[in-house]
Amino acid sequence: MQQTLMNKLHEYIRENNPDLLFQLEEDRKVTEYLSDKISTVSALINQIDIGEPAYIIEDACMDVLTQDLRPSKFNYISNLLQEEFESTYNQILESGTLKFEVMNLINQCQSVFDDLNFSDENEENQFLRYAIIGTISEYLEGVTSENENVKDGLQQSTETEG
């Protein structure tokens, strides 16, 4: 049961919190994190000994294990990008950098998430939505202007060489 939960939690984090997984991998603490989390539900796991069906215990454990991982900032920002910045989203998706750009945006938006107490209860809050959209817009404008500066620099260097 513990290994099953560890696998399910790892998969959940990979899909919903890749920013956390990236940090854990960088720190080489994935197994430690998963083991620590699984140890918090040992009382629920032991209910299998009293005849509780395994699938019910797994669901209850996953609910507890993922409670502090919800709502997913990664999914929230991905959805906003797709809805509000569709052409940019498609360009990022096609370039293969969506995961990394969304992780950058999570870092960029972290103070907004913190200030507005991002949670299940206020995930649909319009003020939060607009604040995050504004931060994403500023980030994308910065990235676009940096890319234009790089292109301009490349054009100037090729003009001076020729």
Give the count of beta carbons closer than 10 Å to the beta carbon of residue 160: 7
- What residue spans define the domains of the chain? 1-66, 73-157
Confidence tier at 15 by pLDDT (50, 70, 90): very high
The total of other beta-carbon atoms located within 10 Å of residue 90's CB is: 13
Q: What is the mean pLDDT of residues 45-63?
A: 90
Per-residue pLDDT of 109-153, as tens digits, reads: 999 999 999 999 999 999 999 999 999 999 999 876 665 554 455
CB 115 within 8 A of CB 28: no
If you count them, how many residues does the chain have?
162
Q: Interhelix angle for 73-84 vs 86-95, to 10°?
A: 120
Amino acid 71 reads P
Q: Is the pTM of this model over 0.85?
A: no
In this predicted model, which residue has the larger pLDDT, 144 or 57? 57
- Matching residue, tokens 């969304």: 102
